[in-house]
Amino acid sequence: MGAFVGVVGPSGSGKDAAIREARARLEGCAVVFARRVITRPPGPAEDSEYASEARFARLEAAGAFVLSWRAHGLAYGIPAAAVEQVRAGAVVVGNLSRSVLALMPERFGRAFSVRVTAPDDLRRARIAARGRESAAEVAARLDRKPAPDVPVDLEIVNDGTLAAAGERLAAFLRQLARPGDPAFSGDDGASRS
């Protein structure tokens, strides 16, 4: 059995960028990157599928998502196909909200979490550079009260090069994808936090 790895972190921490960088380094590994469904058209820095609010609601009601949540006025979902990919032995990576981390062990059996962080000034610059939020929306994302800290298996402080953040994530995923890895021994289904 494989595992699901949830990548979390505040807006502007560089989650999508670190995931893209790791993905480029993992060709040939049994690692799959889940493509989120979001009620916002994807930008150039984000690999996602757009769904209108109505279509998202229909998909959600039909059980198309293994995990779904709402944040920043948008709806997000991880396709249910991720469960079968994990059962088939893949390490599946998803960009998530902290609000659904606790559901991962129940949904996937094997679950790990990675938190990407960055200083507020760097986050502000990254959010503004995306060009999809107004100044007020940027401020609201930065002022948003953080959820209580959730224990994670890896924390990446993304304040250096993107290559360094991507390599840290890739190294963690390589270790999980390696056959016979001790992280997968036993059959307790517990999350390693």
Look at strands 91-95 and 31-33 and give their pairing: parallel
Domains and CATH numbers, the chain: 3-179 (3.40.50.300)
pLDDT value of position 126: 85
pLDDT (tens digit per residue) in 34-54: 999 999 887 766 778 999 999
Mean of pLDDT values over 11-33: 92
CB contact burial 162-182 (16+ within 10 A = b; e otherwise): eeebbbbbbebbbebbeeeee
The total of other beta-carbon atoms located within 10 Å of residue 106's CB is: 10
Helix (H) or strand (E) holding 164: helix 162-177
Q: Helix, strand, coil: what percent of the chain each, to 5?
A: 40, 25, 35
Sequential DSSP letters for 23-88: HHH-TTSSEEE--EEESS---TT--EEE--HHHHHHHHHTT-EEEEEEETTEEEEEETHHHHHHHT
**CA 189 from centre of chain:** 20
pLDDT given for residue 148 in this prediction: 52
Whether pLDDT at 146 is above 90:
no
* pLDDT of amino acid 191: 31
Average pLDDT over every residue of 173-184: 68
- Does the structure show a pLDDT above 70 at 27? yes
pLDDT at res. 145:
55
176: left (phi over 0), alpha (psi -120 to 50) or beta: alpha
Alpha-carbon span 166 to 174, nearest angstrom? 12
The pLDDT assigned to 28 comes to: 81
